[in-house]
């Protein structure tokens, strides 16, 4: 059976910044051709700088919530995008036939320095995620080709 709308999960350890940014951009670029979810392995609050840098780009994520991956065991995902380097070894709590992709974006939360320096790191990561998500969907949603290097 052909599924017109794809289900895409963005996965990270805490689901509070990088995965939230990726969820927002994937939803923005997919234009209703995919249902986008994001989740992590622990619940945390959204990082205020993630909300700020997305607002700067015209996308409001202030109402997003941090979700546990366990919440989505009934969703038949088509694609899973892991955005943290600590998620490859973490097992999903459910079986899936989804194509899984890994891209280790820098973690702006680990940056040190002044508020402005941290904000600069969040903007840098946001811009990387935005570019990656647009390419990711062009390949995996808008074309039939399944293997490209998006790095």
Q: What is the tens place of the pLDDT at every residue in 27-73?
A: 999 988 999 999 998 889 999 999 999 999 999 999 999 999 999 98
Residue 146 lies in a domain: no
Best CA proximity match to 113, nearest among 126, 127, 103, 124: 124
Residue 150 lies in a domain: no
Where is pLDDT greater, at 94 or 42? 42
Where is pLDDT greater, at 78 or 3? 78
Q: Are 141 and 6 a contacting pair, CB within 8 Å?
A: yes
SS (H, E, C) the chain: CCCCCEEEEEECCCCCCHHHHHHHHHHHHHCCCEEEEEEECCCCCCCHHHHHHHHHCCCCCCCCCCCEHHHHCCCCCCEEEECCCCCCCCCCCCCCCCEEEECCCCCHHHCCCCHHHHHHHHHHHHHHHHHHHHHHHHHHCCCCCCCCCCC
Q: Residue count of the chain, please give it.
A: 151
Sheet-wide strand order for 34-39: 34-39, 6-11, 79-82, 99-102
Of the pLDDT bands very low, low, confident and very high (cuts 50, 70, 90), residue 126 is: very high
Residue 5: is its pLDDT beyond 70?
yes
User: pTM of the predicted model, to two decimals?
Assistant: 0.89
Residue 145 lies in a domain: no
- Mean per-residue pLDDT over the chain, rounded: 88
Report the number of distinct structural domains present in the chain: 1
What's the mean pLDDT in 15-23?
Answer: 96
Where is pLDDT greater, at 133 or 112? 133
Instruction: Output the six-digit token pair for 149.
Output: 């290097």
Residue 1 lies in a domain: no
Of the pLDDT bands very low, low, confident and very high (cuts 50, 70, 90), residue 144 is: low
Q: What is the CATH number of the domain that holds 80?
A: 3.40.50.2300
């Amino acid at each position: 059976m052909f599924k017109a709308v794809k289900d895409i999960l963005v996965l990270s350890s805490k689901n509070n910044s990088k995965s939230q940014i990726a969820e927002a951009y994937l939803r923005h670029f997919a234009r209703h051709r995919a249902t986008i979810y994001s989740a992590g392995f622990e619940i945390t609050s959204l990082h205020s700088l993630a909300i700020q840098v997305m607002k700067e780009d015209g996308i409001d994520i202030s109402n997003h919530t941090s979700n546990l991956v366990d919440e989505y065991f009934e969703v038949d995902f088509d694609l899973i995008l892991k955005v943290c380097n600590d998620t490859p070894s973490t097992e999903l709590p459910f079986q899936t036939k989804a194509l899984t992709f890994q891209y280790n974006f820098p973690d702006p939360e680990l940056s040190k320095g002044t508020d402005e320096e941290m904000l600069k790191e969040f903007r840098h990561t946001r811009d990387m995620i935005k570019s990656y998500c647009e390419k990711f969907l062009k390949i995996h949603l808008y074309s039939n080709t399944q293997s490209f290097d998006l790095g």
